Structure 1
Amino acid sequence: MRTRATLSGIFASVAILVVGWQAGTAAVTAAAGGTAVSTSTGSSAGASTGTTPAPAASAAPTATAPTAAAPAATAKSGTFTGSDVRTQFGNVQVKVVVANGKITDVTPLHLTDNGGRSVQISNYAAPILRSEVLSSQSSQVSTVGGATYTSDAYLTSLQSALDQAGI
């Protein structure tokens, strides 16, 4: 009996979370000018099943999420130097070259250098990170295995430079 009550409580909580998430998604879609359809799933808590249109957006101005093309419109061209990021194996700093909102080059100004192994790791990771950044056109890339500290610092410095560039 206790197990059934516990499971009922868990299912009810999940149902509430799902309905709340769907309502939030519908509100964002409606604010962006689209139409939204909200669906509810049935549960032991007695939620109804069906679709209802989201309320129409009001005439009052609302904030909208930026589109993917927006950063390119405000991006600067030039060379931007990222922040100097400290790790336990040394500091990391990169510079990025941006042309018309596109990353054209990433150059490390300083990589971790606390010991020979640290230098090896940096020399291994830097070209991989550069290639990934140029391919993805962002700092949102995976870290290099075995070079986590260097990768994290490299990408943090890069993001600092991209923020300056408006990307």
Structure 2
Amino acid sequence: MLATAATVSGVVLLLSLKPSSGPASASAAAPPASAAAQESPQGGSGGGAQASDRAGTVTGDAAQTPYGAVRVRLTVSGGKITKAEAVEAPKGPTSDEKTALAVPRLNQAVLATQNAQIDSVSGATYTSTGYKKSLQSALDRIKKAPTGGSSGAAQARTVTGSAEQTPYGAVQVRVTLSGKKITKAEAVQAPKGGTSDEKTALAVPRLNQAAVAAGSARIDSVSGATYTSTGYKKSLQSALDQAGD
């Protein structure tokens, strides 16, 4: 009996020392499935670009100079200025040369600095000053734009003014506005026939440009086309009154 008891004790002792290799131990050694699922896959976003980055195009105010208006347009992507251009600049005999000299340098300076603290171009002081003023107004619009939206992109609307009669025919103006800013002006009616065709061709393009530059109906009449100019301004004012500007 003593021998039998000793044998049983030895077997029990050996079994207790045998290492466990069953399914329970294997599952304990493996990482939890939930932990593996929490890891970002290779090449995943991992909290990438923020949706709040501003993107779009915004145009600054027309800044008047003694030689004409300067207006700057900026393209923004990811909150960074990627393109700067002058959509309006002084034109004329000496102005063409100064504009060609100054504008490309000013555009490059904006991309380099990402702000309006840029140097004026020697020999084109007026153009440079106007450029910087329009640039600053564009930057101000970007700051005010809703995050994640199209920069400075107030919904555009079109308003047509009343048809104003002149001794040579009616003048009627249509304007496109973004916010309270005139982005386009056109005459949908204008005097026609005989000398009227010549006067209309002379006056209307200038009046359209002046309306966009001034942002109001306070524009000069075109010499030699007084009736057309007067009718244009009255119709323009009625369009602006309808728009509430």
Range of TM-score over shorter length: 0.5 to 0.7
Find the counterpart in structure 2 of residue 125 from structure 1.
203
- Asked if 1:163 is matched to 2:245, the reply is no
Find the counterpart in structure 2 of residue 140 from structure 1.
218
Find the counterpart in structure 2 of residue 85 from structure 1.
164
Q: Which has the bigger relative contact order, CA under 8 A and spacing at least 6?
A: 1
Unaligned 5+ residue runs, structure 2?
Answer: 1-154
Find the counterpart in structure 1 of residue 184 from structure 2.
105
Aligned partner of residue 91 in structure 1, secondary structure: strand
Find the counterpart in structure 2 of residue 8 from structure 1.
none
Which residues of 2 match residues 25-40 of structure 1 at below 5 A?
none
Find the counterpart in structure 2 of residue 64 from structure 1.
none
Residue 119 (structure 1) shift = 1.1
Residue 106 (structure 1) shift = 0.5
Find the counterpart in structure 2 of residue 49 from structure 1.
none
Find the counterpart in structure 1 of residue 63 from structure 2.
none
* Alpha-carbon distance in structure 2 between the residues aligned to 1:154 and 1:82: 9
Amino acid across the alignment from 2:236: L
Percent of aligned pairs sharing the same letter: 42
* Alpha-carbon distance in structure 2 between the residues aligned to 1:140 and 1:90: 22
Amino acid across the alignment from 2:225: A
Q: What are the superposed Cα offsets for residues 77-106 of structure 1, whole Å, 9 maximum, x if unpaired?
A: 511010011111011111000111100001
Report if the CA contact (8 A) 1:77-1:101 is conserved.
no
Which runs of at least 4 in structure 1 moved beyond 6 Å after TM superposition? none
Report if the CA contact (8 A) 1:81-1:96 is conserved.
yes
* Alpha-carbon distance in structure 1 between the residues aligned to 2:174 and 2:209: 14
Report if the CA contact (8 A) 1:97-1:104 is conserved.
yes
Amino acid across the alignment from 1:103: I
Residue 122 (structure 1) shift = 0.6
Amino acid across the alignment from 2:207: L
Which residues of 2 match residues 52-63 of structure 1 at below 5 A?
none
Residue 107 (structure 1) shift = 1.1
Report if the CA contact (8 A) 1:77-1:165 is conserved.
no
Find the counterpart in structure 1 of residue 194 from structure 2.
116
Which residues of 2 match residues 144-155 of structure 1 at below 5 A?
144-155=222-233
* Alpha-carbon distance in structure 2 between the residues aligned to 1:111 and 1:130: 12
Amino acid across the alignment from 2:227: Y
- Cα-Cα RMSD: 1.6
Aligned partner of residue 231 in structure 2, secondary structure: helix
Task: Choose 1 or 2 for highest CA Rg.
Answer: 2
Number of equivalent positions: 92
Amino acid across the alignment from 1:124: L
Amino acid across the alignment from 2:239: A
